[in-house]
Amino acid sequence: MNPEGLPIIVENKAVVCRLKKANGIFEKVVFYGDSEIVGLTRCRSIVFWKLQTSVKVDPLAKKRELKVTAEVFHRIKTQNLLVDMVIPTGRFICRRGNPARDIRIIKFGSLSELTSEMFEDDYHQKAVESFQNSEFKNKEQPKVHIIDTVDEPIMEMWISPCGRYLLLNIKKPRLELWDLTTVPYPQCIQRYYGYKQGDHIMIPGFVGVNNSFIACGSEKTGEDACIQVWKRQTGELLARIPGTGFNSNYQ
């Protein structure tokens, strides 16, 4: 990002392209494949760019000049939803506010098939009815699915770097690990207990090689302040790492 809030592409510390033609400050910008870029703005919109690159080589001067241009090819509104991207598995994770009552998962095969309608509240029911009548309902997931924890607010969520897992911090408190790739719907595959949560929101995360462990702080004070670590697959509590004497959080 530059001071104007516009994303830039840099090679060898030199700016080769500025992504313009977008209103608002960007919160997150990621590559989708080699030639497309996705950006989330603070004004609740998603902007898509197509990249075109060319290389000019001067054999006499032994110089290589890279030229990159970016054109906006798609733009959608997210209807005041807070959105995060899971590029490795092709999903947007949406919630309304923090804490949230539910999490909406929007799955896509290509960026061009995404529409603003998919982020609207009444689209989910239409997607469910269409999916139930589909011959592929036992072989793939619907385009839109909602994780609903009923009367238990979702305080925070964290996505694994591989894009497969979604970690939810439930107010009760407990952590829930969801596999986003299971068919026909994402499933909760593990829960983690033992930490304390009251006035502060505890932020969980994935740690270790291959994200093999789950870590989360605990809202305790004094000698009880700690960061707890569980084994991801089994939910076994492996360690309590002493904190600072105040409420400990992992981030």
Cβ(186)–Cβ(147) below 8 Å:
yes
Per-residue pLDDT of the chain (251 residues; tens, 9 = 90+): 554 556 666 666 666 677 776 667 888 888 888 889 999 988 888 999 999 888 888 777 677 777 888 899 989 998 888 899 998 889 999 998 878 888 999 998 888 889 898 888 888 778 777 777 777 666 778 888 888 876 789 998 999 999 999 999 998 889 999 999 998 889 999 999 988 887 778 889 999 999 999 999 887 766 667 889 999 999 999 998 887 654 556 55
Taking the C-alpha atoms of residue 115 and residue 20, their distance in angstroms, rounded to an integer, is 21
| One-character DSSP codes across 187-235 | EEEEEE-----SSS----EEESGGG-EEEEE----GGG-EEEEEETTT-
List Cα–Cα distances, 231 to 49, 90, 109, 165, 196, in angstroms.
Answer: 39, 26, 32, 14, 18
List Cα–Cα distances, 53 to 13, 16, 65, 104, 206, in angstroms.
Answer: 17, 10, 11, 35, 35
Taking the C-alpha atoms of residue 145 and residue 125, their distance in angstroms, rounded to an integer, is 10
Residue ranges per domain, the chain?
1-76
Q: What is the pTM of this model?
A: 0.83
Q: Any alpha helices (H) in 96-235, and if so which ranges?
A: 123-132
pLDDT tens for residues 81-104? 889 999 888 999 999 887 888 899
Taking the C-alpha atoms of residue 106 and residue 146, their distance in angstroms, rounded to an integer, is 9
pLDDT recorded at residue 168? 94
Cβ(191)–Cβ(177) below 8 Å:
yes
The count of other CB atoms within 10 Å of the CB of residue 184 is: 16
pLDDT recorded at residue 214? 97
pLDDT tens for residues 157-185? 999 999 999 999 998 889 999 999 998 88
pLDDT recorded at residue 46? 92
CA proximity to 95, closest of 113, 116, 80: 80
Q: Any alpha helices (H) in 29-187, and if so which ranges?
A: 123-132
pLDDT recorded at residue 249? 61
Task: Please count the CA atoms within 13 angstroms of the CA of 10 that sit on its side-chain side.
Answer: 8
Taking the C-alpha atoms of residue 190 and residue 177, their distance in angstroms, rounded to an integer, is 5
The amino acid sitting at 69 is: T
